[in-house]
Amino acid sequence: SVVVLGSANLDVVIALQRIPSPGETVLTDTISRGCGGKGANQAVAVARSGAPTTFLGAVGNDDAGRMLLDGLAGAGADVSAVRRTDGSSGTAYVMVDAQGENAIVVIGGANAGYTDLTEAEADIIRRADVLLMQFEVPIETVTAAASIARAAGVQVMLNAAPYAELPADLLENLDLLIVNEHEAALSAGTQGTPEEVATVILGSVPGVLITLGAAGSLLATRGTEPVRINAPHVTAVDTTGAGDTFSGAYAAATVEGLPAVERLRFASAAAALAVQERGAVDAIPDRARIDEALRH
Ligand code: ADP
């Protein structure tokens, strides 16, 4: 099974002609609410990809918290160990203008208080095949979870987004770092071709997966030749959540035991479907659609 430890946010998406400048007021009546947060998005992607999924994280004791739990459970993730804490759920206010540019304000809420893993949470991590995390919960929690997982022989995958520098005590417990091109350059501390950047990163982690947007993805593992594939040619309408869909689908393909190229193909097919639809969680495809896309 895959345990996804991370954030869950209520996404409040406000569509505007133009994002206001300081001191300015802009009117709109186009506002929508939905499930979001990298942790929740990735848990939904794993579950819809067909792998048994448990989500670990925290939501508030508010309506948003209930909605987030229902959304995750509806996708097939086990939410029985998610904490419901006093106060508000994490919330992201996303302004999107007519050109698709955005400006985002995130309130950490319950995610920020997700510290000090309990023994029950540690046991859930120990029973997993893969632990998948991101950086929208406190880094101390991510570091502690990685160490618990490593000690139990669980594969540890980290999508280092939003980018944060990786402390040594986290790096030493990672099996796979998942990054986009920008995060890869920051992690390596150097620019270059994806292959060159991957080689530098392999100096500190046994595996790295670099997503290259419409140009595809690259998987490099110590001691083996890197594998690079192209992304399917599609018309992208909204790339929000492409990386989350890719990470979740890749983790699911890993527990299925697929070989490297097949894992990348599976994750690319899922992400290509996601970018063809608007929204984050709503755009994450299920297994039937991924399999269908892979047949073409
Ligand atoms: P992020 O969204 O985290 O910045 P990327 O932009 O690298 O990450 O996208 C993640 C993955 O989603 C890519 O590796 C690719 O497989 C898929 N993807 C993203 N944009 C497109 C696109 N325009 N066409 C097809 N696939 C895409």
Asked if residue 253 is part of any domain, the answer here is yes
Average pLDDT over residues 221-244: 95
Atom of ligand 1 nearest to the CA of 240: 2
The answer to whether residue 22 is domain-embedded is no
pLDDT at 48: 98
Pocket residues: Cβ below 6 A from ligand 1: 180, 211-214, 216-217, 231-232, 234, 236, 239, 242-243, 246, 268, 271-272, 275
CATH number of the domain at 273, please: 3.40.1190.20
Q: Tell me which residue has its CA closest to atom 27 in ligand 1.
A: 214
Ligand 1 centroid–CA 274 distance in Å is: 9
Give a yes or no: residue 158 inside a domain.
yes
Which ipTM was obtained for this model? 0.98
State in Å, rounded, how far the first CA of the chain is from the last one.
Answer: 28
User: Could you list the residue range(s) of the whole structural domain that residue 277 is in?
Assistant: 2-8+36-88+112-295
Give the model confidence (pLDDT) of 277-293 as tens digits: 988 899 999 999 999 99
pLDDT tens, 147-203?
999 999 999 999 999 999 999 999 999 999 999 999 999 999 999 999 999 999 999
The answer to whether the annotation marks 74 as part of a ligand binding site is no
Q: How far is CA 235 from the centre of its chain?
A: 22
> Which residues are part of the catalytic machinery?
244
Element (H, E) at 12: strand 9-15
Side-by-side strand order, sheet with 227-229: 53-56, 2-5, 130-133, 155-159, 176-180, 207-211, 217-221, 227-229
Summarize the confidence of residues 45-71 as an average pLDDT. 98
Q: Is there a domain that residue 210 lies in?
A: yes
Residue 159 and residue 134: Cα distance in Å, rounded? 5
Distance 230 CA to ligand 1 centre (A): 10
38 assigned binding-site residue? yes
Residue 208 phi/psi, 5-degree rounding, is -145, 140
Q: How far is the CA of 148 from the centre of ligand 1 (A)?
A: 31
Residue 23 inside a domain? The answer is no
Which pLDDT value is given to residue 102?
A: 87
> The whole model's pTM is what?
0.96
Residue 266 lies in a domain: yes
The angle at the Cα of 235, spanning 232 to 237, to the nearest 5 degrees, equals 125
Q: What is the pLDDT of residue 177?
A: 98
Q: State which of 180, 219, 238, 245 you would mutate to test the pocket of ligand 1, scoring each by most atoms of that ligand within 8 A of its C-beta.
A: 180
How far is the centre of ligand 1, averaged over its atoms, from the C-alpha of 211 (Å)?
Answer: 6
Which strand (E) or helix (H) includes residue 195?
helix 194-201
Tell whether 105 is covered by a domain. no
Residue minimizing CA distance to atom 19 of ligand 1: 213
Handedness of CA 3, 68, 113, 139 (dihedral sign): positive
Q: In this structure, is residue 244 part of a structural domain?
A: yes
**How are beta strands 2-5 and 130-133 bridged, if at all?**
parallel
**Number of domains forming the structure of the chain:** 1
Burial label, 61 (beta-carbon count in 10 A; 0-12, 13-18, 19+): middle
